Structure 1
Amino acid sequence: MKSFEKYFLEKNYARVEELGDKLAEIDPLIDWEVFRPIIREMYDNHTERGGRPNNDEIVMMKMLVLQSWYGLSDPELERQANDRISFHKFLGFPERIPDRSTVWAFRERLIDTGKDERIWEELQRQINAKGLKIKEGVIQDATFITADPGHKKVEEPRGPTAKTRRNKDGEWTKKNGKSHYGYKLHSKMDIDHQLIREIETTPASMHDSQIDLTQPGEVNYRDRGYFGAPCKGYNATMDRGIRSHPLNIRQKMRNQRITHKRAPGERPYAVIKNIFNSGHVKVTTTLRTHTKNIFTCFCYNLLQLNTIKQKNTT
């Protein structure tokens, strides 16, 4: 970018900075450059999809962060990235803003190569390097990520051959008498710093108890829905009364202690759905939904890292 153009943009951005820019707060929290070689590896091949990207790797990754942070569709992301000066600043004032097709292709390539998982792993490495390791325990839970079922009948199979544009992998399920269609986001959050450490995405019909995200040695606090389910770590799952065997006073007191520990576990889902507007997806497969969830949880962790930083400076 020409120096005069950059000077003009920086001058216009100065007023936004005075008013407060959340993107400017989260930008220095992690080392973005470390993600560059991870992304670049996607293009270092000799297949027909090979070649170097036309856009900067970090710009492309930050586009997906912006999309998740503000709950934007691909077309709206393109429009706002060209319109908002705070977006320009976060992206580093690139000479060209990636268009919607480029964003879609980049996200698909992340899925095909598994680099979305590598990005998540690198974020966790950086979090641990800051000294924010798991000590006290973790909270595992799940929430529905809804999707549009389309016009296909419930009993008709979906999968890769489904012709509906709306969804191929989503499934119906019921909870507390209410029907949900789409997926589940399973997550593990640490109690110490309230950061999301691991996630998994499944169709909505998958029972919570079928997913265990804990590691050996971790204390895992879980609600009654996981009662009887195996756990690789220390099993701190709430007890549930069964027929002819109601909970005794000791079990009730234990459940109260676990409930107190688990209380912060609802915050990530509140942020994801109410702030990032990511409780509903329009993508059509579990893999695409999982990548969306990765970047949404990535954004949540950036938000929480900023909260931790502000607490430490007060």
Structure 2
Amino acid sequence: MKQTSLGLPLSTKRTRKREFLDAMDRVVPWRDLVALIARFAPESGRRGQQPFAVETLLRIHFMQQWFNLSDPAMEEALHDVPVFRDFAGLSNWGDALPSDSSILRFRRLLEQHKLADQILARVNELLTGQGLMLKAGTVVDATLIAAPSSTKNKDGKRDPEMHQSKKGNQWHFGMKAHIGVDADSGLVHTVRGTAGNVNDVVEGNSLLHGQEEFAFGDAGYQGVNKRPDAKAHVRWHVAMRPGLRRVLEPATNAVDALTGRIERMKASVRAKVKHPFRVIKRQFGHVKVRYRGLAKNTAQLKVLFALSNLWMVRAAVVAEVRPAAA
């Protein structure tokens, strides 16, 4: 391997990783999120390894989500990839790099204090303040996230909190990510995680923030307005069941033709809920759960969807804050 000068990379090429990280650096509200977490962080002055700055660990945690890296893989990437060190603020010659255990402790800190919920809420508060998220309507949907089905582990069992479910003619094992998104912008405001066998309609009303006047869902949400937790002020627009829609005769029946147009209009609104799923699965590579248990994986999903919101509006957002001082 060729040596670098004073530990600095010789290449000046603007790689896709660097372009991506530069874009996210401009839109993530670092100062607000650091202030949110700092009150729970361990204080310096104790014996042993000194804690790293909250912003450094938060940047590393976000890189894990963006590039789908485990704790050990993230530690190795910090040693191997100069742009990752630059983004974390660890590019100076001789800077100590966090170990995988430091990265793990930070994630557990977020889980312990339920900070993933607050990160999503704070990001959405800022986006709402910039006029990018309205509250008139919500679109709901769910997607399956696969979990390892093998029993070749130290317990000899599959994760008991995951479950198999059937979609079409295929069986899947894992969890479901249920989301409620803003009907205008497609930004996620509510995230819930359940076992894979939980019907979508069960979580439908829990995905509403309470201020919307109308909500949209696919045919899996039929009957959502009749459930005990239904909100009286919300008007649901749920897709017709596919079997009923197939028997429509729009060419010969005016009512059927009007029904078909209404269904297409509802589908055009529902399409916005697919965008956040595409971002976390295709852009961030999150197609399989990383941890055991619903709580840890749901916390990760909330951070992922907060970051997906920022990614989706990156061209429109002008960050009002600058990175906090270490």
TM more than 0.5: yes
* 1:295 aligned onto 2:293: no
**Whole-angstrom CA distance in 2 between matches of 1:219 and 1:164:** 46
Alignment of structure 1 residues 148-167 onto 2, 5 Å: 148-151=148-151, 163-164=155-156, 167=159
Q: Residue 190 of structure 2: which of 186, 198, 202 is its match?
A: 198
**Whole-angstrom CA distance in 2 between matches of 1:53 and 1:28:** 29
Task: Flag as ranges the 4+ runs of structure 1 deviating above 6 A.
Answer: none
Q: CA 1:304–1:13 in structure 2 vs 1: closer, same or farther (change >3 Å)? A: farther
**Does 23-32 or 143-152 show the bigger shift?**
143-152
- Bigger RCO of structures 1 and 2 (CA < 8 A, at least 6 apart): 2
Deviations 1:117-156 (A, max 9, x none): 112211111111222121563321110011012329xxxx
Q: CA 1:136–1:307 in structure 2 vs 1: closer, same or farther (change >3 Å)? A: farther
**Does 283-292 or 83-92 show the bigger shift?**
83-92
Partner of 1:272: 280
Identical-residue share of aligned pairs (%) = 22
RMSD: 3.0
**Whole-angstrom CA distance in 2 between matches of 1:179 and 1:14:** 47
* 1:74 aligned onto 2:71: yes
Partner of 1:286: 294
The Cα shift of 1:90 comes to: 1.6
Q: CA 1:273–1:40 in structure 2 vs 1: closer, same or farther (change >3 Å)? A: same
Do 1:13 and 1:85's aligned partners in 2 also have CA atoms closer than 8 Å? Answer: no
Alignment of structure 1 residues 1-314 onto 2, 5 Å: 12=9, 15-17=12-14, 21-43=19-41, 54-93=51-90, 95-134=95-134, 137-151=137-151, 163-164=155-156, 167-211=159-203, 212=205, 213-214=207-208, 215-230=210-225, 231-232=230-231, 233-240=234-241, 249=256, 250-309=258-317
**Whole-angstrom CA distance in 2 between matches of 1:31 and 1:241:** 43
Structure 2: any 5+ residue segments left out of the alignment?
A: 249-254, 319-326
The Cα shift of 1:169 comes to: 1.1
Structure 1: any 5+ residue segments left out of the alignment?
A: 1-6, 46-50, 153-161
Deviations 1:168-195 (A, max 9, x none): 3111111212111110011122233222
The Cα shift of 1:41 comes to: 2.7
**Whole-angstrom CA distance in 2 between matches of 1:166 and 1:54:** 35
Alignment size in residue pairs: 287
Instruction: Compute the TM-score of the two structures, normalised by the length of structure 2.
Output: 0.78
**Does 181-190 or 210-219 show the bigger shift?**
210-219
The Cα shift of 1:299 comes to: 2.3
Q: CA 1:242–1:274 in structure 2 vs 1: closer, same or farther (change >3 Å)? A: closer
